């Protein structure tokens, strides 16, 4: 059985019409993305676009003091490297692999060539960019107004939506770095969720036991972002029956 990832497992690539996809197919390079790998640094000009299949990439903003927080995540619903076609060339955030997995890489000039055709790829990427902007703005609101427990529930649910497993390999310190809070705050929030029977933590592994429980504790930010992805992409017709109507479900 061939278990290698296919480009169509990325929702954007999978939604391209056959003719558009065929122009890119020979140029898509499969890459394995290990946990913690930095795809590009803040202020750098990306040379490739990345279309995750099973990997999850976190877009991080790092302050002058060295503190950081994730402003958005990208899984198989999207791509990393929106600055390539938005005209800014560089981004103020860095891109770091949050969950190890596979992706497809495309050279910047090829992406730009396809984008400038003003066809299906351009329409998909512009809609995706608007959804990504919603995710970033909602993350800012969430970090300012909601509890660490609510933020942790949001982060867990979004991560699960992009995975085929209910187990998250991530230390509390790494989660704290993603959310821009103290590790002790994550430990306290995770302890409450574990006491409620919703999750189980052990040596850097976090298993979700009751997704429905997390959904009762999460703030509205999770539903807002998921709804916006659905609103923007609900009329896209994938080539291989993969729905773009919402963030990928487990």
pTM comes to: 0.85
pLDDT at 237: 52
The distance from CA 78 to its chain's CA centroid, rounded to whole angstroms, is: 7
pLDDT of 197 strictly over 80? yes
CB of 207 closer than 8 Å to CB of 140: no
pLDDT for res 3: 55
| Mean pLDDT, residues 219-228 | 90
- Where residue 204 falls among pLDDT bands split at 50, 70, 90? low
Give CA separation, 83 vs 27, 88, 97, 155, 211, in Å: 20, 5, 18, 24, 34
Share of the chain above pLDDT 90, in %: 52
Q: 231 versus 1: which is more confidently predicted? A: 231
Reduced 3-state DSSP string for the chain: CCCCCCHHHCHHHHCCCHHHHHHHHCCCEEEEECCCCEEECCCCCCCEEEEECCCEEEEEEECCCCCEEEEEEECCCCCECCHHHHCCCCCCCEEEEEECEEEEEEEHHHHHHHHCCCCHHHHHHHHHHHHHHHHHHHHHHHHHHCCHHHHHHHHHHHHHHCCCCCEEECCHHHHHHHHCCCHHHHHHHHHHHHHCCCEEEECCEEEECCHHHHHHHCCCHHHHHHHHHHHHHCCCCCCCCCCCCCCCCC
Cα 238 to Cα 236: distance, rounded to the nearest angstrom: 6
Query: Average of pLDDT values for 59-64?
Result: 82
| Comparison of pLDDT for 129 and 3, the residue scoring more | 129
- The reported pLDDT for the residue numbered 233 is 67
What does the pLDDT look like over 133-178, one tens digit per residue? Answer: 999 999 988 988 999 999 999 999 999 888 877 777 788 888 888 8
Domains and CATH numbers, the chain: 7-120 (2.60.120.10), 147-218 (1.10.10.10)
Reported confidence tier of residue 2, pLDDT bands at 50, 70, 90 = very low
Most confident of 3-17, 80-94, 95-109, 152-166: 95-109
When the pLDDT of each residue in the chain is averaged and rounded to a whole number, the result is 86
- Name the token pair of 200: 């189980």
Tally the residues of the chain.
250
């Amino acid at each position: 059985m061939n278990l290698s990832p296919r480009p169509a497992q990325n929702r954007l690539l999978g939604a391209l019409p056959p003719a558009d996809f065929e122009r890119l197919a020979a140029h898509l390079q499969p890459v394995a993305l290990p946990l913690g790998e930095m795809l590009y640094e803040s202020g750098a000009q990306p040379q490739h676009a990345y279309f995750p299949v099973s990997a999850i990439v976190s877009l991080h903003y790092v302050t002058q003091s060295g503190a950081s927080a994730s402003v958005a995540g990208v899984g198989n619903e999207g791509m990393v490297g929106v600055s390539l076609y938005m005209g800014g060339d560089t981004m103020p955030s860095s891109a770091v692999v949050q969950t190890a997995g596979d992706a497809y890489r495309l050279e910047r000039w090829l992406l730009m060539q396809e984008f400038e055709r003003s066809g299906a790829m351009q329409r998909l990427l512009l809609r995706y960019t608007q959804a990504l902007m919603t995710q970033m703005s909602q993350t800012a609101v969430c970090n300012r107004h909601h509890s660490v427990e609510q933020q942790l529930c949001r982060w867990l649910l979004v991560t699960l939506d992009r995975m085929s497993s209910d187990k998250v390999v991530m230390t509390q310190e790494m989660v704290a770095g993603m959310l821009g809070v103290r590790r002790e705050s994550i430990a306290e929030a995770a302890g409450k969720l574990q006491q409620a029977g919703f999750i189980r933590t052990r040596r850097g592994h976090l298993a979700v036991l009751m997704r429905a429980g997390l959904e009762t504790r999460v703030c509205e930010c999770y539903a807002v972002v998921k709804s916006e992805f659905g609103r923007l992409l609900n009329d896209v017709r994938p080539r291989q029956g993969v729905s773009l109507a919402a963030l990928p479900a487990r």
